[in-house]
Amino acid sequence: MVKNILTMTFLKKNLFRSLVVFTLIIASDDNSFATHATASPVIVGSSGKTDIYVAGYSNNDQYNYIPTYWKNGKPVYLTEGKRQGKATGIAVAGNDVYVSGEAHYGRQSSAVYWKNGIAVILTDGNNRASATGIAVVGNDVYVSGHEASKNGLLVAMYWKNGIPIHMTDENHYEPTTAIAVSGNDVYVAGFDQDMHNLEFSIAKYWKNGKEVSLAPSYKKATASGIAVVGNDVYVAGQQRGKFSFMVKYWKNGKEINLSDEAGKGACSRAIVVEGNDVYVTGAEKVSDYNLVPVYWKNGKETILSSDTRKFNGYAEAIAVSGNNIYIAGEENNGHCDVAKYWQNGNAIYLGDGKHNSAAYAIAIVRR
């Protein structure tokens, strides 16, 4: 008989402001573990207490751009401040908090993750690198990312327990944006940018190192997030429309448009799947002003904008828990970007409004 259910949540945010969410539910009894994949970033317990974790960057009144996560609004700084960077994703497993990101531990930014605040540095800092996502399955830690080659091109890769697995060579510019692990399969989202012609890029994901292209290069598509549910693979992204970019997602390679092909512009950030519902977060230019934070549920758009809509804002990550929808992101107040999250449309501010801050990932833990 199943006695406990533990849900581990994996979210990410990358160098290109993209985020992914993936969740593994482990149902356990006395003798065995059975796993299946879903995409709701929520850990479920029975105490009735809810903890809200948000990851991004902030300041500590002395230094800016400090990799940070907030637990119930209280910041936890992941470096002492002199090492600037950002947290790109968060995973909660039991009492352990895992955060992926980047920070300056050498001449350049290093890919890194923190476990309960202790850094595990994945690259030596000689070449620019970033960790773009994290997944924790049992005792194994998977981190997606990329590192610059000698010629400056980004090499797509992931690490399993600190050991790098390269998916591309040094002759392509292929940043990753997300990671998901389902059973024995590792999925990494990203894209291939043609550096000879910046008007061409290919949205793709890799399954166990084998690439799957989602759109031809002339559509200038990129993938920003991935979720795996059973045998279905969902990838969020954007591609060229008539006048600007449009948001879409692919389910098993079949594209579903979310914003207007003839619209003023939109971008995606994250994708989650809860039951039969598909949620995608991002931003859209809905007026003559700048991008405003939005999310789509089964294709229907909801705006999470500030009062003025005169400054950019982004909905970066989403978690769905029962009837509650939690979305992390940031909006500019005319002076700086301010980290926040929305609970059912109501904004809770995390940044101080005086210094730049951003929220790229969210996890909900129901103890």
Q: What is the pLDDT of residue 47?
A: 63
Q: What is the pLDDT of residue 64?
A: 85
Residue 200, CA atoms < 13 Å, CB-side half-sphere: 8
Q: What is the pLDDT of residue 10?
A: 35
Q: What is the pLDDT tens value at each position of the chain, 367 positions in all?
A: 323 333 333 333 433 333 333 333 223 332 222 222 334 566 666 667 899 999 999 988 788 899 999 999 999 999 988 899 999 999 999 899 999 999 999 899 999 999 999 999 999 999 999 999 999 999 999 999 999 998 899 999 999 999 999 999 998 899 999 999 999 999 999 999 988 888 899 999 999 999 999 999 999 999 999 999 999 999 999 999 988 999 999 999 999 999 998 888 999 999 999 999 999 999 998 776 689 999 999 999 999 975 556 789 999 999 999 899 999 999 999 899 999 999 999 999 999 999 999 999 999 998 7
- What's the one-letter identity of residue 184? N
Number of domains in the chain: 1
- Structural domain of residue 175, as residue ranges? 4-366
Dump strand ranges (E) for 72-128. 74-77, 85-93, 96-104, 109-115, 118-121
Rounded CA-CA distance 266/284 in Å is 4
Instruction: Name 203's Cβ contacts closer than 8 Å, sequence gap at least 6.
Output: 191, 213, 214, 215, 221, 222, 223, 235, 237, 239, 250
The neighbour count for residue 360, using CB atoms within 10 Å, is: 32
Q: What is the pLDDT of residue 86?
A: 96
Q: What is the pLDDT of residue 198?
A: 86
Rounded CA-CA distance 320/199 in Å is 36
Q: What is the domain-level CATH number for residue 154?
A: 2.130.10
Please classify residue 33 by burial: count the beta carbons closer than 10 Å to its beta carbon, then call 0-12 exposed, 13-18 middle and 19+ buried: exposed
Which structure tokens are listed for 50?
Answer: 């809810």
Do the beta carbons of residue 280 and residue 247 sit within 8 Å? yes
Written in H, E and C, the secondary structure of 301-361 is EEECCCCCCCCCEEEEEEEEECCEEEEEEEEECCCCEEEEEEECCEEEECCCCCCCCEEEE
Please classify residue 333 by burial: count the beta carbons closer than 10 Å to its beta carbon, then call 0-12 exposed, 13-18 middle and 19+ buried: middle
Q: What is the pLDDT of residue 41?
A: 63
Rounded CA-CA distance 18/303 in Å is 19
